Amino acid sequence: MAISRQTRLYIVLGVAQVAALAVLAWFAERQVALGPTDKLGWRPFTWPLSTERAPAGHAYSGEDHDVYVWLTLNGLGSSGDCPKGIANDAALERAVDIRLLDPRFEPVGPGERLRVTDLVGWTRVYVHRRNNKSLRYGEAVAVSYKCDVISAIIDGDARDPAKRKTAHEFLESNTVQVWINKQLEGR
């Protein structure tokens, strides 16, 4: 018994629909695992940085910036900075290697003191020239909680103080702070 052309077409369409639903279910499961987009529009995405040079953390994409946040437990214990925290450019360089994003990043100038919620740390702006000769700016941020270090890289136009402020406010938001507190539970 031969299958009609119309029946074969229905079978192909049915298989295509099942495949499309499977892909949609996989994508939905992945998005649920990453977490929801917050009310300000920051969307989580898969951690893209090397876990050999920095522990896995959370990555978020906003309107103007991508923000990568991670926690290094006892990150200051061996460097002698534990009592002082992150208080200068050298301590920031030890805590955050912005060259994880691109090895061509160089500091724009000296860093400055920064407060994220009730934690104090250090921040510094970096720049590199892309292959198309445009400039790319980023910012390294590190604050300490006891001897643990909360590090962030802000990838976007870090020259603009308003955009930097938006990224810093995101670091203080519930989205980031809840994740950090869960990581610090029991310490």
pLDDT, tens only, 80-118:
556 678 889 998 998 898 988 888 899 999 999 999 988
Instruction: Characterize the bridge pairing of strands 66-72 and 148-155.
Output: antiparallel
- The pLDDT assigned to 49 comes to 87
Banded pLDDT at 148 (limits 50, 70, 90): confident
- The pLDDT assigned to 30 comes to 63
Mean pLDDT over 56-61 rounds to 90
DSSP H stretches of helix in the chain: 5-34, 89-95, 161-171, 174-184
Q: How far is CA 87 from CA 92, 112, 115, 119, 141, in A?
A: 8, 9, 11, 12, 11
Asked if residue 34 has pLDDT above 60, the reply is no
How does DSSP classify residue 99? G
103 burial (CB, 10 Å; 0-12 / 13-18 / 19+) is exposed
Mean pLDDT over 47-66 rounds to 87
Q: How far apart are CA 50 and CA 53, in angstroms?
A: 6
pLDDT digits (tens, 9 = 90+) for 151-186: 999 998 888 888 889 999 999 998 899 889 888 886
Nearest CA-CA partner of 77 in 180, 148, 183: 148
Banded pLDDT at 131 (limits 50, 70, 90): confident
pTM, full prediction: 0.76
Mean per-residue pLDDT of the chain: 85
- 116, 154 in Cβ contact below 8 A? no
Mean pLDDT over 45-68 rounds to 87
